[in-house]
């Protein structure tokens, strides 16, 4: 019975997952949790737990066990650490469910990708309307040189960057055009539009992450398709020219997205990102009741730095005393501070093992560009130098593991009959 109910549920819900994240975070989290539970039932009914033997899954489960049994009891605020540590297991199982079960069905995968493309196109169009008219389709107004699009906060660029390379892969492989050059032209045109969109949003991290993904795709295509090298170079030039035109015509955007980005990178230690990172390292190294091997406890950074008795930390790193700081803005630093050196090594190991599956096992793929897109999807989220939202919040974790699940699903060499 669980399989019959789950199959009908999943086929209808998977198309809505990207949109649910946009409009209803709790709903997206609820569906992800249900999918994780159904996957466990499915594996039990089929008596197939092969997915639990995947190296990255073993690393992820080991990290989870460590977080709840060792790191959390030693945390400054054990209750907060234990709660967040215990619950994040659902996202790992959700990612595995997408990779080894749900998205192994071609029809379901197709509808999921249609959902991604639809949401990405909608957000980009909505933001262009907001940039031109001052308000988007929902009446949200732009704030100075930042765009909100259909969101209540300033994150349209971050959200689109997580999904854009899934959308681009779908455009490249599902288009009815048979000519590789036409497909490539459509791909490059879409990248140019996305570049302009990200410049207008004013989200520096999102723009840099997108350019990283573009570099991965361009490099992969340059190697895989020698006949397309001229078109790839032309696409790079088109992106630069488009960025130049937008920058010249929009001084506020130029200051925010280009000049400010350069200044942040050039003087990173004293930038807001640098100060937050240095405050996190300071808390990790100098919190008296903890040690550097087990950390201060997951989600404890916010509790420690916002405690009035620790106001000296904010003063030391020139952080706004009136602002409530939630997280270190980097996955790796977040694990280092929260779970110590052991947690940092465990998380990094999991990331490397996933990346290995995306690349090493797919060197001779019949669709050679898919591993390139999958790697771009993965690295725009897990690039060590990126600054992003909180790894543990449901509104971010759902989309992170949704993209991981897709990347693993499309790069699998062959399906497992017992789990697909």
Is there a domain that residue 276 lies in? no
Query: Tens of pLDDT along 376-416?
Result: 999 998 998 888 777 777 778 888 999 999 999 988 765 44
pLDDT at 145 over 80: no
- In 3D, which of 227, 224, 228 has the Cα closest to residue 369? 224
Write the CA distances from 358 to 56, 367, 369, 370, 401, integer angstroms.
11, 13, 11, 9, 14
Share of the chain above pLDDT 90, in %: 38
Which residues in 263-274 are b (16+ Cβ under 10 Å) and which e? ebeeeeeebebb
What is the rounded average pLDDT for all residues in the chain? 86
- Residue 285 maps to a domain: no
What's residue 111's pLDDT? 85
Q: Is residue 299 part of a domain?
A: no
In a domain, 344, yes or no: yes
Summarised one tens digit per residue, pLDDT across range 107-122 is 888 888 888 999 999 9
Cα distances (Å, whole numbers) of residue 40 to 81, 99, 330, 414: 25, 14, 30, 21
Q: Specify the higher pLDDT residue, 334 or 151.
A: 334
Give the structural domain span for 33. 2-269+325-410
Residue 209 tokens read as 């992450």
Enumerate residues 6+ apart whose C-beta is below 8 A from 416.
48, 50, 100, 104
Provide the domain count of the chain: 1
pLDDT at res. 419: 41
CA distance 146 to 250: 12
DSSP codes of every residue in 362-380: GTT-SSTHHHHHHHHHHHH
Instruction: Please give the pLDDT value at position 271.
Output: 86
Strand, helix or coil for residue 58? helix
Q: Per-residue pLDDT averaged across 1-16, rounded?
A: 62
Is 316 part of a structural domain of the chain?
no
**From CA 144, how far away is CA 42, in angstroms rounded?**
50
Q: Given this model, what pLDDT does residue 122 score?
A: 92
Maximum C-alpha span of the chain: 65
Q: Is residue 296 part of a domain?
A: no
Roughly how many angstroms between the first and final C-alpha of the chain, as a whole number? Answer: 17
Q: Does residue 123 or residue 412 have the better pLDDT?
A: 123
Q: Across residues 284-288, what is the average pLDDT?
A: 92
- Give the pLDDT confidence of 80-92 residue by residue, as tens digits: 999 999 989 999 9
Residue 265 lies in a domain: yes
Confidence at 97, pLDDT banded by 50, 70, 90: very high
Q: Is residue 140 part of a domain?
A: yes
List phi, psi (to 5°) of 143.
-110, 105
CB 38 within 8 A of CB 97: yes
Query: What are the pLDDT digits (tens) for 57-80?
Result: 999 999 999 999 999 999 999 999
How far, in Å, CA of 288 to CA of 286, rounded? 6
Rounded Cα distance, 127 and 197, in Å: 7
């Amino acid at each position: 019975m669980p399989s019959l109910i789950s199959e009908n549920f999943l086929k209808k819900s998977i198309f809505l997952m990207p949109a649910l994240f946009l409009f209803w975070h709790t709903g997206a989290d609820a569906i992800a949790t249900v999918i994780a539970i159904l996957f466990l039932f499915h594996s039990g009914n089929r008596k197939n737990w092969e997915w639990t033997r995947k190296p990255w899954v073993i690393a992820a489960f080991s990290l989870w066990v460590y977080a709840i049994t060792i790191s959390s009891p030693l945390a400054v605020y054990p209750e907060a650490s234990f709660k967040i540590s215990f619950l994040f297991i659902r996202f790992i199982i959700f990612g595995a469910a997408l990779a080894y079960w749900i998205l192994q069905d071609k029809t379901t995968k197709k509808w999921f990708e249609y959902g991604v493309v639809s949401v990405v196109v909608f957000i980009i169009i909505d933001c262009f309307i907001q940039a031109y008219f001052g308000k988007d389709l929902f009446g949200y107004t732009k704030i100075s040189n930042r765009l909100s699009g259909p969101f209540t906060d300033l994150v349209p660029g971050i959200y689109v960057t997580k999904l854009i390379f899934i959308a681009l892969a779908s455009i490249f492989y599902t288009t009815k055009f048979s000519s590789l050059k036409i497909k490539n032209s459509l791909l490059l045109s879409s990248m140019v539009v996305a570049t302009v969109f990200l410049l207008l949003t004013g989200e520096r991290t999102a723009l840099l992450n997108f350019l990283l993904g573009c570099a991965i795709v361009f490099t992969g295509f340059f190697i895989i398709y020698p006949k397309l090298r001229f078109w790839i170079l032309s696409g790079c030039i088109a992106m630069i020219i488009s960025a130049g035109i937008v920058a010249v015509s929009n001084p506020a955007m130029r200051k925010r997205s280009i000049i400010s980005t350069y200044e942040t990178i050039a003087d990173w230690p004293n930038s807001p990102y640098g100060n937050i990172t240095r405050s996190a390292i300071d808390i990790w190294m100098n919190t008296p009741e903890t040690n550097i091997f087990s950390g201060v406890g997951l989600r404890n950074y916010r509790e420690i730095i916002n405690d009035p008795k620790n106001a000296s930390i904010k003063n030391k790193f020139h952080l706004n005393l009136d602002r409530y700081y939630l997280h270190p803005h980097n996955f790796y630093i977040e694990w280092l501070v929260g779970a110590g050196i052991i947690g940092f090594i465990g998380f990094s190991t999991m990331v490397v093992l996933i990346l290995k599956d995306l690349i090493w096992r797919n060197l001779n793929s019949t669709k050679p560009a898919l591993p390139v897109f999958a790697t771009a999807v993965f690295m725009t989220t897990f690039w060590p130098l990126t600054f992003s939202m909180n790894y543990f919040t449901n509104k971010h974790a759902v989309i992170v593991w949704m993209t991981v699940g897709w990347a693993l699903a499309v790069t699998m060499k062959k399906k497992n009959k017992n789990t697909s």
